[in-house]
């Protein structure tokens, strides 16, 4: 993968590690927020893609307090 491929991925998706890095939250906090909001990881044609989430679907869960 090229650096551009990686950048494109991160513009579309978030992982626990990228949420940690971007929002300064502990992974246990991140996972608790995702569980509390019952957010499912990304899947493609019904097949789980691992512990990744669409940025558009979860970013607001972590930015709400920062924008208040």
Residues 6+ apart with CB under 8 A from 45: none
**pTM score of the predicted model:** 0.82
The tens place of each residue's pLDDT in the chain, 68 residues long, gives: 899 999 999 999 999 999 999 999 999 999 999 999 999 999 999 898 999 999 999 999 998 655 44
């Amino acid at each position: 993968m090229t650096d551009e491929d990686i950048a494109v991925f991160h513009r579309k998706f978030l992982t626990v590690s990228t949420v940690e890095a971007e929002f300064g939250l502990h992974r246990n906090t991140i996972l608790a927020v995702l569980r509390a909001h019952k957010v499912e990881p990304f899947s493609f044609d019904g097949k789980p893609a691992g512990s990744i989430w669409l940025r558009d679907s979860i970013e607001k869960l972590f930015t709400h307090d920062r924008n208040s």
